[in-house]
């Protein structure tokens, strides 16, 4: 039994109203959600970025000073240390620490950490373990 055109219109109106109300709510919600997502994402991103930035900066500062100190010594026995320092400084400078989309961010960071440990034992520097990445204890 076919519905009369009038009934179809009415049915359409009901179905459309349903979609319209949903759509209006959706649009409003989407704008709100986008704003909230940016804000929330920024906060999480900021905490992660702070940790990585601070850690990488710390390695860089540490290596720069030690390199300068050892270079001035002009002692043969420091050549191995200087080699490790140069290689580590190169790794740090090539590391795009500020780019969260870099796919090997964690991989490279771990390599830098490993190299840094090696350097510290070469320099026989007794460091409080993880003095450069103490940030990892930050609560998220």
Sort 136 into a burial class: Cβ within 10 Å, 0-12 / 13-18 / 19+. exposed
Q: Judge contact between 80 and 109, C-beta under 8 A.
A: no
Among 78, 84, 97, 112, binds other proteins (CB under 8 A): 97
Q: What is the DSSP string of 4-72?
A: PHHHHHHHHHHHHHHHHHHHHHHHHHHHHHHHHHHHHHHHHHHHHHHHHHHHHHHHHHHHHHHHHHHHH
Residue 4-43 contact track with other proteins, rule CB under 8 A, x = bound = -------------xx--xxxxxxxxxxxxxxxxxxxxxxx
Which residue from 8, 57, 90, 106 is in contact with other proteins, where contact means CB under 8 A? 57
Measured from the CB of residue 5, what is the shortest distance to other proteins in angstroms? 23
Point out which span in 1-9, 58-66, 74-82, 106-114 binds other proteins (CB under 8 A).
Answer: 58-66
* DSSP 8-state class, residue 3: P
- Min CB(12)–other proteins separation in Å: 16
Nearer to other proteins, 1 or 39 (CB): 39
Residues that bind other proteins (CB under 8 A): 17-18, 21-69, 71-72, 97-101, 123, 125-127, 131-132, 134-135, 138
């Amino acid at each position: 039994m076919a519905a009369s055109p009038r009934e179809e219109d009415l049915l359409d109106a009901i179905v459309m109203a349903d979609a319209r109300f949903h759509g209006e709510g959706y649009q409003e919600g989407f704008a709100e959600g986008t704003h909230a997502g940016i804000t929330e994402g920024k906060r999480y991103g900021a905490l992660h970025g702070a940790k990585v930035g601070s850690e990488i900066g710390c390695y860089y500062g540490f290596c720069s000073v030690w390199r300068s100190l050892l270079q001035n010594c002009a002692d043969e026995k420091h050549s191995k240390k200087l080699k490790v320092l140069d290689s580590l400084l190169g790794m740090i400078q090539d590391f795009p620490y500020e780019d969260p989309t870099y796919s090997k961010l964690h991989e490279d960071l771990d390599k830098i950490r490993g190299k840094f440990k090696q350097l510290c034992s070469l320099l026989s520097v007794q460091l409080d373990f993880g003095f450069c990445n103490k940030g990892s204890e930050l609560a998220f």
